[in-house]
Amino acid sequence: MEIKIRDDFPLLQRTVHGVPLVYLDSAATSLKPEAVIEAEATFYREVGANVRRGAYELGAEATERYESARAKVASLLGARPDEAVFTRGTTEALNLAAWALGETVIGPGDEVLVTEMEHHANLLPWQELVRRKQARLSAVAVTAEGELDLEDFRRKLSPRTKVVALPHVSNVLGTINPVPEVATAAHEAGAVVVLDAAQSVPHMPVDVRELGADLVAFSGHKMLGPTGIGVLWGRREILKDLPPLLVGGEMVHEVWLDRATWDDPPARFEGGTPPIAQAVGLGAAVDYLQAIGMDEVRRHGQELTALVLDGLLFRPYVTVYGPADPGARGALVAFSLAGIHPHDVATLLDREGIAIRGGHHCAQPLHRKLGIPASCRVSFHVYNTIDEVRLFLEALDGVWKALG
């Protein structure tokens, strides 16, 4: 299966510094299969019209393809199509959630509860919200093992808590958080639960009903889809009470010179021309993943994660961050080499054709908690292989020999 899958990804045919590319940075963005590239190009070649506007065949066909993509995304999540809002990505989806909840449930003295493991995209919008509303931001601690401190969560959860925001999978630690348990406690306290699922939806089965969160955000480009497209899923009863972040064409029911009434979700949150071709490409990515099976996607990611964990933990010059159990992780591992800056590690690996991430991964507060300025990160998707893990580990030994 690995050989057939790799043949579907054109970028894997290229070389870097004269050697074959080994791409281990899918947590930042995934490669795109030919089916996704062709779906987006075909839309431009064969349709190209705007959606929800023209009373002509091309306009109707564009709308049909756009809404078909929405239905595919909803099916992947175990949700209804009218609960899936298209955005430009996880960041816009979380900004929309924070803005809308700020207008409806947050007031002076209220509290938003986040975690110490947040990506900046699920931290900065809440910082801005509490500043704007004179509310308070608090963060749940992370344990020494890289897990969410549930005792600290229960201590900090209070009747003042109106929103609990957390990642499903940490983009640094790889930790899979116990979202159903958190959501149950948050709901008992009367809080809305917002989930950053950017590192989970692309890699494992996700049923939003079972998770229990109220709003779930993720990006297309991390799940083999195009850039510029993301999703905010919301419970119907939540979405219907939220105001839009962007106002303009095609998101209104009626407009007068002095007032307007909003359309029903999801159109209410999709003002202006949406990312139509990107949505079509995302629909093709969902088709591709479902043809493999999300259980198989998860199994493959766990296998590679277990191999790289074993290899890194065996090397005394390496420090690994996050759970040691690959079953408790997403498909990524962050680590550091004693005395060597992650940027230097990534640069030397790049000379061997191996692309990894070196930096703070848009999680500076977490890196301060870990006592480091940055880390290295390897991450996987369906096109990666066991041989690539071995090549990476061998090249890492070369880095240590050169700089350690």
Is 376 labeled as catalytic in the residue annotation? no
Exposure letters 48-83 (e unless 16+ CB within 10 A, then b): ebbbbeeeeeebebbbebbbebbbbbbebbebeebb
Element at 137 (helix H, strand E): strand 136-140
The number of beta carbons lying within 10 Å of the beta carbon of residue 357 is: 23
Q: Are 108 and 117 in contact (CB under 8 A)?
A: no
DSSP state, 1? Answer: -
- What's 42's DSSP letter? H
In this structure, the dihedral spanned by the alpha carbons of residues 26, 270, 105 and 165, taken in order and rounded to 10 degrees, is 0
| Secondary structure of residue 56 in the 3-state scheme | coil
CA distance 295 to 33: 19
Burial 132-153 (b: 16+ CB within 10 A, else e): ebebebbbbbbeeebbbbbebb
Give the span between the Cα atoms of 66 and 161, in whole angstroms: 37
Concatenated DSSP letters for 283-326? HHHHHHHHHH-HHHHHHHHHHHHHHHHHHHHH-TTEEEES-S-G
User: Residue 291's CB: how many other CB atoms inside 10 A?
Assistant: 9
Amino acid at position 364, single letter: Q
CB atoms within 10 A of CB 199: 28
**Bridge partners, residue 136, by sequence:** 111
Return the half-sphere exposure (C-beta side, CA atoms, 13 A cut-off) of residue 66. Answer: 27
Of the candidates 362, 364, 369, 372, the residue annotated as catalytic is 362
Kindly list the catalytic residues.
Answer: 362
